[in-house]
Amino acid sequence: MHIVVCVKQVPNTTQVRINPETNTLVRDGVESIMNPFDENALEMALQLKEKHAGTKVTVLTMGPPQAAEVLKEAVGRGADAVVLLCDRAFAGSDTWATSYALSTAIGKLERPDLVLFGKQAIDGDTAQVGPGVADWLGIPCIAYARKIEIAGGKAAVERAYEDGYEKLEVALPCALTVLKEANVPRMASLRGKMAAKKLGIAPMTAEASGADPARLGLNASPTRVVKIFSPPPKTGGVKWQGEEPAVMAQRLADTLRERKLI
């Protein structure tokens, strides 16, 4: 079985701020990490590899040269092969152009049985790239997967909802976007880290991917970002503390009634 996992390098959002004048993310000095949901997708692939002998896991990312770091992290955890799709031609691609670019790169690989994505990236939060790639590849996609079992060329997948889940059966090849609750991502092993350190990663260019240049980059992207802004922090408010719960509850109810909220 061949599993392709698409991952993204994202800024560690616990450290990100927004420049109030330009409305863009301040990425200076912010550490880059593997998108947390992609870690769950990779873990799902590695667990399938442990279960099904002969499985190969390829990890693919599109990004600048430093995105090689997330691929090294993936090798440290047990990925067999990595692909860095890297070219100026990709710069500024939105989810549509990114999905297209990733699908062409996957087309250059050994035909996958499974293509896995994290549910969404924590920087853009669109959750569009996984289903987009599946569409370009012409394979079915199950979003929000939390469990998978593979047998007889089919996958039994649980798709989670807020209030329950669906059990779906799908023929391979297929694509999945994976939830956090699917698993606990492993940490890299010592031997994996050592192998990753020695690893040289030659980028796959736009030309090598065979992608149509007219469908790549900012100009080919239909999305236009009008404005990014931080919602103004909440101010004011009233805080009561220290009294008997019954007194506090009474005061809360009176206040809500006064303001005609209940």
Partner 1 sequence: MAELNYGLSELAQEIRGMVREFAESRVKPVRAELDETGHFPTEILRELGKMDLMGLYIPAEYGGTFEGDSMPNLIAVEELSRICIGVSVSFAANGLGADPILIGASEEQKKKYLPPLASGEKWAAYALTEPNAGSDAGSIRTTAVRKGDKYILNGTKQWITNGGEADIYTVFAVTDKNRGARGVSCFIVEKGMPGFKFGKKENKLGIRASATRELIFEDCEVPAANLIGREGTGFIWAMKTFDVSRPGIAAQAVGLAQGALDEAVLYAKVREQFGKPIIANQGLSWMLADMATKVETARALTYATVQSIDRGSKDYSKFSAMCKVYASDVAMQVTTDAVQVFGGYGYMKEYPVEKMMRDAKILQIYEGTNQIQRDIIGLALNKEYGAVAKK
Residues that bind partner 1 (CB under 8 A): 186-193
CB of 43 to partner 1, least distance (A): 12
Between 108 and 191, CB nearer to partner 1: 191
CB of 49 to partner 1, least distance (A): 13
The three-state secondary structure class of 158 is strand
Q: For residues 160 and 179, is the Cβ–Cβ distance under 8 A?
A: yes
Exposure string of 56-66, with b = 16+ CB inside 10 Å and e = fewer, is bbbbbbbbeee
Between 31 and 163, CB nearer to partner 1: 31
Cis status, amide bond into 173, omega within 30 of 0: yes
Between 193 and 215, CB nearer to partner 1: 193
Between 187 and 256, CB nearer to partner 1: 187
Taking the C-alpha atoms of 45, 74, 77 and 1 in order, what is their torsion angle to the nearest 10 degrees?
30
DSSP H helices in the chain: 36-51, 68-77, 95-107, 129-137, 190-198, 206-209, 245-258
Place of tokens 């420049």: 19
Between 46 and 105, CB nearer to partner 1: 46
CB of 73 to partner 1, least distance (A): 12
Exposure string of 247-259, with b = 16+ CB inside 10 Å and e = fewer, is eeeeeeeeeeeee
CB of 51 to partner 1, least distance (A): 15
The three-state secondary structure class of 77 is helix
CB of 116 to partner 1, least distance (A): 20
CB of 190 to partner 1, least distance (A): 4
Between 74 and 97, CB nearer to partner 1: 74
